[in-house]
Each structure stands twice: as structure tokens, then as C-alpha cells.
Chains A and B, each alone.
Chain A
Amino acid sequence: MELFLQLTLTGLTNGAILALAALGFVLIYKASDVINFAQGEFLLIGAYLIYAMVVQFGLHWTLGMVITLLIAILLGVLIERLILRPMIGEPLISVIMVTIGLSSLLRAVVSTIWGNLPQAFPSFIPTQAVQILGAKVGADRLWAIGIAMLMLLVFNLFFSKSKEGIAMRAVADDQTAALSMGISVSHIFAWAWALAAVSAAIAGALVANIVGVGPELSNFGLRVFPVVILGGLDSIPGAIIGGIIIGLLEAYTGGYIGQGLNQVLPFIILILILMIRPYGLFGKEIIERV
């Protein structure tokens, strides 16, 4: 029972962080049909930025977080404006290649600035163990779950209530109609990239707090794929539920069956899903027709 609780909480932590990273991916796909292979690098950059703010510049983590998010917004908008906007109207595969190139570029920039060695990271969120129903869990994991859940809630509210949120959903649904409603589609694309960078940066900061920073954090980007395919590429609730399911499955597999297998499991699930729904990744048209 204790192990189960422990694993559940670990799984929820990873799941919530995955959901945040996946949310950005879904946002971009929903709004502009672009599959962003650089989502993991957004997370990586978020992690290194908070590392730079807290460790290298010695700022308080709240201030560091605010600056990190501001830089993330700027990065998202710039990438959309300078790299993705010229690609509008180009074939899907070209756009995908561009985001793959972008991911290499961002990773190279990060290793140029911060090097390739993993850096230990004095946790900025309290880490002392907390007893929950007999299970011992680091407080930082509870914080991570709390912050991630709060962010997901805020994003949800943003989409259902705010002017920009409604406009984003409208653009995702029908660009021509959105234009005729006075919604600037290019403006909304910029919003999508900025929000994707922000949600990934928050996920990155949460991961960094728990495991430190290192180039391998960008692998989170790969783990986003099983999540979004499980949840549906263009579904925001799907990203959240998918993230939590994958996070829990990883934790349970690692705890009950063995470490190592938990790294593979999400991809086994991915393959199974693709076998049942072969049109998974690029099958938007087919899904639409159903």
C-alpha cells in the first residue's frame, strides 16, 4: 500500500509535468497544424533558464521563474515570427523538418551556453519528506503536482473564458471564419507558440527542481509523443489525461516490474495505439471524416 501510494505520487508528478509539456505541443498543433518536434527543447531551455536565474544569478526562485517565463514568451513569439511564419503554406513535411532542425539548433545553443554536463541543482522548492497515508514523499513532488495542476487549470480557464482563448479555439476550428470575425490568425499563431514555450518552461523548471539540469532533459520531448497520441493530437483535456496515464504507468512499471522497462513502456503503448488507430500521428483528415 505504501509503495503503491509512493508510486502513485511519483507517477502523478511526472504525469503532470508531461501534461504541461504536451499541452504546448497540442496548442501549436491545434492552432496551426504544425507538429513541433522542438517541444522537448523548450522544456530544456526552461530548465536551464531557471538554473541560470537561481544558481548562476542567485535570484529568488519566484523572480527567476517570472524572468524565465518572460524569456520563454519572447522565444516562442520570435520562433513563430522568424521561423514558422515564412513556412505558412509550405508542405507539412517541410514544416516538420524545420521544427526538427529547430530542436537541434536549440539544443546546440543550450550546450554552447551551459555545457554538456548535468548540473546538480539545489532545489528551490522545499524537498523535506512528507508523510501521506504512511507513504514518504518529497514535498517538491507535491509542489510540482500542485503547480502543474494549477497551471493546467489556468490554461483551461484561459481557453474557455478569455478573449484570446476563444480566438485560439476559433482559429483552430476554422481559419477563414476566424479571419472574418476580425481575429488575426498570425497573432493567434504567435500566442500559441508563446503559450507552448511558457507551459514547457514551467514543466522544465519543475523537472529541474527535482532531478537537476542536463542535456538529456530534452528527451522529455520524445515522451510527449505517447502522451499526445494517447490523448488525441488536438485535444487539450486529452493531453492532460494522457500525461497523467503515461506518468502513472511509468511509475507502476518501474516500481512493480523493474526499472528500465518503464522507459520503454510508453512507446509500447504508443505502438499498440498506432496498431489500433493506424492514422494516429498524421491522420487528421481521416479522423475528421469520422
Chain B
Amino acid sequence: MQRGFSSQLNSSSLRPGELQLSVEHLQLNFGGVTALLGVDLQIRQGEIFAIIGPNGAGKTSLLNCISGLYHPQRGRILFYHNGEHDLTHLRPHQIARLGVARTFQNIELFRHMTVLDNLLAGAHIHMKSNLLASLIYWGMAQREQIQFRRFIEDIIELLEIQAIRNKVVATLPYGLQKRVELGRALALRPAILLLDEPMAGMNTEEKEDMARFILDVNEEYGVTIVLIEHDMGVVMDISDRVAVLNFGQKIAEGTPDEVRNNPLVIEAYLGEEHAALLSRPFSKS
């Protein structure tokens, strides 16, 4: 299949392998409850980095800290993109503008808007037209809109959602909504893409599709991906590195193989019943 993006999908200024996101000693409390306790992560450009852990381990909290929805009490988050940015105290929209895109565990699409409008909203920061140009819709605004629409169409094609582009999101089945949400995050032209359980609640076929899209985005376009996922098969299959959280602390990190064979992980996190699952052989497709 021949696909070509008319404009760059990956906006990172880094070369593959360079340090892109550095989470240092992150601590997050909600009242007396500690959600994250001294978490360190180093994510490099171009990798698929998975964060796993049991429910309540702090995975989503960590993602929310990175995207600015939560502000940690201690520690800091550095993001490298045309220089160093300290994300720790920035607001969510400022972080998004730096190229940190994300999806949500429970789909947070603009439900009353069409698929196309959702993607346009995702690409909002790249629209330059001011109010006057928009009101007088022809001219510059028109030309910009066309170029812009080509980029959007590329995403639509990549995710194979041509048939539903003008459908209102709320009317779509769950699996497609997940895919549209990925598309909306791509429309931001991410430097790094945070995916919070992109395959939750999907059937096997939908999961395979989603895994393929994630791999495409990563391998063909070089977008760094930070992934939270419960499906161990998928995580072990597609991730370059895996970090394991438990009760807000990182208990292990490494390649899928290392993590799979780490006794701490098997014992503390997965428990006996899952040990069998972990020992299942996986193949990188």
C-alpha cells in the first residue's frame, strides 16, 4: 500500500534515540493518597514505551501529569523539542502546543461533532486563519484550509476511516470511536503520542487493527509512543521498552523479555494466575 503524508506527521525535532521525555522523581498526592511516589522515566525519540501495572498503580495519573491535567507535588518533567521544556507547571493546552498529543482511557471525543470536525479540532493549533479571514472565508483562509484538509485526509486514509468522515461521532461504534480519537491526536502533528489504553474493550480483530495503526505511526512516521495497556500480549508484542508501576512506584523497567522474566514483576504485580500468561511465547511481528 502506498501512503504518503503531504506534510510531516511527526513534529519532533530530535533524531531517533535521543532523550525526548524525562520524568524525574515524580510525586503526586491527592489529599492523603499517594498516586505516584518518586517515579523516574526516560523516553527516547522513536520508541514505543509501554507503562503497565495493576489498576490504581498510577499509570493514568502519570500520563495526566505529563499532559498537564495533574500537577505533581514533587519532581519534574522535561520535554525536549527545539530545546528543553519544563512541563511540570505548564497548563494542558500549552503542553499540547509543544507536540504532546494524547488519547483517553474513556473516550473523550467531541461527541456532537463529525469525525472530520473532530480531526480539525485536533489540528486546531495549526490553523492560522484569524477571525477576519475566517469570516471572509475565501482567499487565504480557503487556501490554508485546502492544504490543511489534505493533511487531515492523509490521517483519514491512514486510519481507514474514509467511510465515516462525515458521521457524528456519538453515532459510531466503540471501536471506531477509539480509532477516531487516535486520529484526532495525530492531527495535532505530535512529537510524542500518549495512548491511554487504546485497545480497552475491543475484540481481537479491533485490537489487531489498532496495533497495526500504532505500529504504522511509529515505524513509518517515527512518532514516539507512550502506551498504557492491559493486554499483555499486545504490550509484549509491540513495545520496545516496558515500565511497570505498582502502588505509584516503578518496580521494573526494560525490554519486554526482561520485564516478563523479572521475578518482582511476576510476584508483586501479576500474581500467580498471570505468571502462566507471561511465560507464553511472543513474537515480534
Contacts and interface: CB of A to CB of B under 8 A. Distances in A.
Contact of A180 (B96, B120, B128, B129): B96
Given A174-B108, A174-B111, A181-B184, A161 B124 contact: no
A183 interface: yes
Which of B102, B122, B184 has the most chain A CB within a 10 Å cutoff?
B122
Interface string B114-135: 0001001110110111010011
Interface string A132-163: 00000000000000000000001001100111
Interface stretch (A120-128, A164-172, A200-208, A257-265): A164-172
A162 B188 contact: no
Contacts of B94: 182
A89 to B, nearest CB: 15
A182 to B, nearest CB: 4
A182 B137 CA distance: 23
A177 interface: yes
B93 interface: yes
Contacts, number: 97
B113 A169 contact: yes
A157 B93 CA distance: 25
A158 B108 contact: no
A176 B129 CA distance: 24
A183 B68 CA distance: 13
Contact of A182 (B97, B117, B145): B97
Contact of B124 (A154, A176, A182): A182
A180 B134 contact: no
A178 B102 CA distance: 11
Given A180-B67, A181-B121, A173 B92 contact: no
Given A154-B135, A158-B134, A170-B110, A180 B121 contact: no
Nearest to A176: B108
Contacts of A54: none
B69 A166 contact: no
Nearest to B92: A179
A178 B137 CA distance: 24
B112 interface: yes
A184 interface: yes
Given A161-B137, A176-B104, A181-B184, 16 more contacts: A157-B134, A157-B137, A162-B141, A164-B131, A166-B120, A166-B124, A167-B124, A169-B121, A170-B113, A170-B121, A178-B93, A180-B92, A181-B93, A182-B93, A182-B124, A185-B93
Interface of B: 67-69, 91-94, 96-97, 101-102, 104, 108-113, 117, 120-122, 124-125, 127-129, 131, 134-135, 137, 141, 145, 184, 188
